[in-house]
Structure 1
Amino acid sequence: MKFINLWPLMFLSFIPLLIFLYLLKQKSQDHLISSTFLWKEVYKNIEASTPFEKLRYNIMLLLQLLIIIFLIGALTDPFLSIWGKDYKNVIIVMDNTGSMTATYEGSTRMEEAKKRAEEYINSIKGSATITIINAGEKPSMEISNSKDKYLAIDKLKSIKQKSVSGNIEDSISLIKAITKEVESYEAVFFTDKTINIDDINGKVINLTEKGSNASLDFLSYSEDKEGLKVLIKITNRGSYEYTSDLALYGGEELLDIKSISLKPKESRTILFDKVDFKGDILKAELTEEDSIKDDNIIFEKILREDRQKILLVTEKNIFLERALQTIPNIDIYKTNSEENMNKEDRYDLYIFDNITPVDIPKEGNMLLINPEENSIFKVNGELEGGYGVITQSSVSRYTEGLKFAIKNYKNLEKPNWAEGFLKVEENYLGFIGELNGKAIGVIGFDLHNSDLTLKAEFPILMHNIVGGLINRGMLYKHSFKSGEEVQINPRVDGEEVKVKNPKGEEEIIPLRFPLKSYKATYYTGVYQVSQNIGEEIIKTSFTVNFPTDTESSMENEESSIENVKGNNLLKGGLNLRIYLILLALVIILIEWILYIRGY
C-alpha cells in the first residue's frame, strides 16, 4: 500500500491534545444521599478522579481517536495495488467512429466504453496523470497530463458520438510521441476494431459482439419521361437473417415500399421503377430496427442542373488553360479559331483569347481577352506599358490591390452597364456586366504581355471572373459520407455562408481567403446551405450518409482479443480514501447515538 500524500500526518499531533482534554474533564459529581449505603460508590468516584484512571473504559475517547485516525488516513490518499503495476501516466483512447453507435446491452458501445473508462479512472492512484484521446475521423486530445480525476471524467462524458469513419491505429503515433520521454505509462484502447499495439505498453478492451444489422450502401437514380428509376443496395452485415420493409420517400412523402429478406453477408440491389417525384431529396429507410440505426437510412439529392460548358477559343494560352482547369463543375472545350466553331453547339460561356468574334453568339455569356474593335464597346487603339492594379469590385475578392506590369494594352471605354475591376492609371482594362440578358467580361490586354499570370492570385481572379459569368452553384458535389469536408463555392458578391445541419444547428462561414471548408458533417441527413446576395437569398443542400463500408460490420472476425465482460482487468488498484471517510462517518453516527443515550 502506498500513501500519495504524507503531509496530513502532521494532524496526528491532535491525538495528544484530545487525550489531554479528557484528562482535564471533571468526571465526579457531588450527590446528597440519605444513607451511607453508597459510600463504596463514592470511593470509586474518588479513585476515578486520578488523572490516568479517567481514561479507563472511556468509549467516547476511543471513538474520537478512531475518527481522527481515519480522517487523517483519508487525507493521505492511500492506494492499495492489488491488480498489477502502478503507472505514473495513464492514456485512454476512445474509439468515436460510427460503429460505436451499435447497441450494447441496452445502451451503445460508446456508452459502455465511457462507463468502463470512468471506472478505470476512479481505480488509478491519485498521483497518476491522465490523458484522454478522442479517436474519431482524426485523433485529438480531450485532456492531457491531468491529475484531476473529476475533470478527466467530465471530459470523458462530454465526448459526443459521431457517425464518422476513422482508423483508431492513427492514435498510436500520437501515443508514441507523447510517451517518448515518459518513465512509465499504460494506454487503454476502448474500441470494436482490430488494433495492433505491439510497440506500446497497453491493452485493448474490445466491445465487439454479435448482432443483427443491415445497411443501405448506396442510392442512385436516373430520370426519363416515365419518371425516376431508383436503385438501392442493401447488405446484411449481421450474424443472423434479416427481414424488413424498404421504404422509398420523396422528401417526407412515401413513394413506394418493398419487402426484403437477406441471409448473413448477403447483398441485394432493389429497383424502384417509374417513380413520380418532382422534388430534390430522395430518402430510403429500412423499417426494421437493428444494432446500428444510422445506416438504416440513406439520402440522395436529385440534380437536375447540367454541368457548365465552356468553349475556349485561343491559339495557345497555357496559363489560362491551367487556371480554368482548377475550376470544378465545368467542362472545357477548345478550338483555335472562330471558323472551327460549330454554330449548332451551345455553351454556357465563350472565352475569346486574342480573337474577336465576328458573329456574337446568340446564347451563352462571353469573356473577351485583348479584344479588337467590336459592336459591344469601343476600343480606341493601343497604349504602351504601365502598371495594372485590381480595384474593388464583385469579382476582385482576395485579389484587390494586386499590382502587375503590362507591356502594352488596349485603350477601352468602359460602358455604363459594366463594373470595372482592373485599371492602368485612370483607364479601365477590365470590366464585367450584363447587356441584353448576356453576361460579358473584358480583359483589355494580352495575358502573355504581362506578369499577371505569374502571380499566385491569377487563378483566384479567373475563378472570380468565371464565377461572375456562369452559375456554378455553391457546391462542387452534393453527396458526402459522415466526416467528409464540404468545399463551398460562394458568390463573391454575397455575404457569409450559413450551413444548417439536420439537428437545426447553424454554422456561419465568413468570406475570407482561403475560404474555410465545412467540417461538421457528423450527423446523417440533409444539410441546408444559404447565402444572402443583396436582398436575394440563394439556397442549396447536400446529403450526408453513414460510412457503411467501414463502420457497419457487427463482427470483428480478424480479432483474437476476447470480449472483456468484467472490469477487473482494467483496475489499477483500490483507492482506500472513500472507505476511510465512510468509516469515519459511521463512527461519528455511533458516537452521536451514545451521546444521546448519556454516555
Structure 2
Amino acid sequence: MMGIGNPIFFLFSFFIAAVILMYFFRKQYRDQVVPSNLLWEEVMKEWQASPWFHRLQKNLLLLLQVLILLFLMIALVKPYTFNEMAKKDHLVILLDTSASMNAVVNNRSHFEEAKEDIQSLVEGTDGKVTLLGVGKSVTTIVSEETNDRVVLNGLKNLPLSNDNEDMEKAIHLGEALAIGSESIIHIFSDSMGKDDFTEELTSPIQVHNLLTNPVNVSLTSFGVERLGSSYQGVAVIENQSEVSLKGHLAIYDEKNEISSVGLTLDPGEETVVPLSDLSYSPIYKAVIDFNDDYMEDNSLSSIQAASKPAIHVIGEINPFLLKGFQSIGVDVKTIEEDQMEPGDEIILTSKEKWQHLSVGSPAMIVPARSKESTPLTHGIKATNEDPLLKHVDLEKVYVDKVSSIQIKNLQSVATGDSIPLIQKGEVNGQKLVLLNLHLNESDFPLHPGFPIFLYNSYQFLSENHGFLGYYQPGEERTLPLSGDKWDIYSTEGEYVKEWNGEGVFKAPEAPGVYQAIRDDDMKYFSVVLDDREKQLSEGTSFSLEPTKGMKNEESKSIPQALTEWFLILAILLLFIEWEVYRRGNRI
C-alpha cells in the first residue's frame, strides 16, 4: 500500500512542461547555397560511423533533464509505502538483572545469553530503542535512542544487581513509555509466566525465557547457635530439579572445613540436615556442591554476634526513656541485678546500680529519681557536630533542674551552667552515655529530636558489637559506625571499597560475608540473597497482544518514506547528463 505526503508539489510538473517547450522553440536551420559540401560530407561520414549513439544523443539531454526534474518533483511529493515487515518503530526492552539471571544456559549465564539476543534485536531494527534494567528498582539505560552503538554500549555496561526484580513496576513504566508510538515490549527474564500479567495491556509484549529444564539444588536456610558450651546448627536443602542429584554439604569456620555430609536428594525433595558439636568460630559458612546450574544459592553464612543488642533495664527508670527506645525498634527488658550475665546487651540504669555491677557492658546512665537536682539558670550549649546530637536541636529544649553525676574520662557534648548535661566515652573498655537531665523536669521528651537522640545513643553504644547485620545486595542503610573511613573487605581478603562513615552505606552487590576495618577495629556484615532468588523454575517464551486500546490494522504499520531513493536517482542522472554534455555534441 502506498501514499503521498505532499501532493501540492505536483504543481512542479509545469517546469517539466516548460523544458519540453524550450526544445520545440530551439534554433531552426534554413537552406543555404554554398560553394562546396566537402566539409559536410566529412561530418556525415563521422556521424554515420556510430549512428545509434548520435541519433540517440539528439534527444538524450532532453530525456535526462526531464527525468531529473521528474525525480526531484517525486522526492518533494514524499511518497511512502506501508511496510508490514517493520510494524514497530519503538522497541522497549526490559532486562531482568536479578540474581537468578546468573543461572547457566549453554555454558553461559542466562544474563549473557539475554544480552546477545538483545544485541541481535537492536541490530535488526531501524526504529527507536528504550532499554530498562529491572532489579529492585528500574533503571533507564537508554531512552528512545536511534544510534545502535549507544544502545549496545549501554547494554554492554549493564551489570547484574543480584536483588529481586520488580517486573510489575517495570511493565507499567514500559507501557507508559510506549504511549503515542507503535511500540512493542520485549521482556528478557528467567521464568515469567502468562499468569504474571493480571492487568490489561496497552502494548504487545514478547517474553523471552531462555531457562528450560533447570537443574538446581538450593541451600535455603542455615543457622548456628550456642547451646550450653557447644554450638549446634541446622541446614535446609531443597532439590528444585526433576532428577535425583548427589552431592555434599560442607561447613567451614573462618579458615578450614570442620564438617562434611554426603547427600542424595530425590526430585523436589527438601531435607533438614542437623549439625552438632561444632567448634567455636565467629563465622560459620555452609556450602553445598551438587553440580547444578545456579551457584549463587549454594552458600550461606552464620555470624555469632547480635546485630541489634537488647537494652536491659535495672532499677526504676523514667518511662519516657523506655517508650522512646521501644519506638525505634529496640527490645527493652527489665531485669534484676543478679540476673545480669555476660553478653551483648546494653544496660540502662543509674550510676549507683552501675557501679555495683560485676558484668561489663555498654551502658546509658541516668539520674535516679531520688537524686538531688540543681536548678538550671541558663540555656544549654551543645556540640551539634557530635554524632550523638546529629539532627538534635538541644538549644530549644527547656530544662528546669539537672543532676550532677560525675564520671571521669568522659567527653561533654552538651553543658548548662558549666554542668555536663550529656557525656559520652569509654570506661574499662565499655562505651558509656551519661544523661544528667531529669526528664520529668524538662520538655525534652516532647521534642522531635528526643527519639533521634536515643537512636544516636543506641548506635554509639552498640558500636563495639562485632556484627553489623544482614543486607540484601546493593541495599542502602545507615550503619552504626563512626570515624573517618572504613575499608570494606571480603572474608577472602579482597578489597571492595572505602566508606567515609557519613550518610547511608550501600552494601556490595555480591552475596557473602564482609569485613569493615578501621585500624585495629573489625566488624562483620553479611550480604544475602532475597529468598525469592533461591527459587529457580522453568520458563517458556510467549507473546501477548494488547487487550486495551486496540488500534485498527492499518495503524499497526508505519510509513516507509521513499524520498531518499528518488533523490539518489536524480543525482545519478545529473552526473550522466553532465558526461553527455561534456562530449561536446550538439542536439
The TM-score, its normalising length taken from structure 2, stands at 0.71
Match of 2:523 in 1: 540
Match of 1:185 in 2: 183
Match of 2:172 in 1: 173
Correspondence 1:245 to 2:245: no
CA contact (8 A) 1:137 1:164 kept: yes
* CA distance, structure 1, for counterparts of residue 188 and residue 86 of structure 2: 19
CA contact (8 A) 1:246 1:287 kept: no
* CA distance, structure 2, for counterparts of residue 78 and residue 388 of structure 1: 80
Map 1:179-328 → 2, pairs under 5 A: 179=178, 182-191=180-189, 192-194=191-193, 195-196=196-197, 198-207=200-209, 208-223=211-226, 228-276=231-279, 278=281, 280-290=283-293, 292-295=294-297, 297-303=298-304, 308=309, 310-313=311-314, 315=316, 317-326=318-327
Relative to structure 1, the CA distance from residue 358 to residue 228 in structure 2 (aligned partners, 3 Å threshold; closer, same or farther) is closer
Match of 1:592 in 2: none
User: C-alpha displacement at 1:300, in angstroms?
Assistant: 0.7
Aligned-partner residue type, residue 554 of structure 1: S
Match of 1:451 in 2: 443
Alignment match of 1:367 (pick from 364, 367, 370):
364
Alignment match of 1:526 (pick from 506, 510, 513):
513
Q: Which has the higher helix share?
A: 2
Relative to structure 1, the CA distance from residue 422 to residue 97 in structure 2 (aligned partners, 3 Å threshold; closer, same or farther) is same
Match of 2:159 in 1: 160
* CA distance, structure 2, for counterparts of residue 358 and residue 459 of structure 1: 23
Residue deviations 1:172-230 (CA, integer Å, cap 9, x gap): 33234445x52543222222312316323122323141132211212222345785434
Relative to structure 1, the CA distance from residue 572 to residue 529 in structure 2 (aligned partners, 3 Å threshold; closer, same or farther) is farther
Aligned-partner residue type, residue 138 of structure 2: P
Match of 2:412 in 1: 420
CA contact (8 A) 2:348 2:364 kept: yes
Local SS of the residue matching 2:285: strand
Relative to structure 1, the CA distance from residue 104 to residue 362 in structure 2 (aligned partners, 3 Å threshold; closer, same or farther) is closer
Match of 1:596 in 2: none
Aligned-partner residue type, residue 499 of structure 1: I
Local SS of the residue matching 2:162: coil
User: C-alpha displacement at 1:46, in angstroms?
Assistant: 9.3
Aligned-partner residue type, residue 119 of structure 2: E
* CA distance, structure 2, for counterparts of residue 346 and residue 225 of structure 1: 14
Alignment match of 1:351 (pick from 348, 353, 362):
348
* CA distance, structure 1, for counterparts of residue 342 and residue 192 of structure 2: 53
CA contact (8 A) 1:385 1:406 kept: no
CA contact (8 A) 1:218 1:298 kept: no
Gapped regions of structure 2 (runs ≥ 5): 7-43, 545-555, 573-587
* CA distance, structure 1, for counterparts of residue 3 and residue 104 of structure 2: 41
* CA distance, structure 2, for counterparts of residue 431 and residue 105 of structure 1: 63
* CA distance, structure 1, for counterparts of residue 534 and residue 310 of structure 2: 38
Relative to structure 1, the CA distance from residue 163 to residue 573 in structure 2 (aligned partners, 3 Å threshold; closer, same or farther) is farther
Residue deviations 1:429-457 (CA, integer Å, cap 9, x gap): 23234456665543223112222222222
User: C-alpha displacement at 1:523, in angstroms?
Assistant: 1.5
Match of 2:422 in 1: 430
CA contact (8 A) 2:307 2:467 kept: no
Local SS of the residue matching 2:167: coil
CA contact (8 A) 2:98 2:533 kept: no
CA contact (8 A) 1:92 1:132 kept: yes
* Identical-residue share of aligned pairs (%): 16
Aligned-partner residue type, residue 516 of structure 1: V
Relative to structure 1, the CA distance from residue 321 to residue 52 in structure 2 (aligned partners, 3 Å threshold; closer, same or farther) is same
User: C-alpha displacement at 1:388, in angstroms?
Assistant: 1.8
Local SS of the residue matching 1:541: strand
Please tell me the root mean square deviation across aligned C-alpha atoms, in Å. 5.3
Relative to structure 1, the CA distance from residue 164 to residue 372 in structure 2 (aligned partners, 3 Å threshold; closer, same or farther) is closer
Relative to structure 1, the CA distance from residue 49 to residue 258 in structure 2 (aligned partners, 3 Å threshold; closer, same or farther) is same
CA contact (8 A) 1:370 1:445 kept: yes
The number of residue pairs the alignment matches comes to 527
* CA distance, structure 2, for counterparts of residue 574 and residue 362 of structure 1: 86
* CA distance, structure 2, for counterparts of residue 446 and residue 267 of structure 1: 57
Residue deviations 1:560-590 (CA, integer Å, cap 9, x gap): 9489xxxxxxx9999999xx9xx99xx9xxx
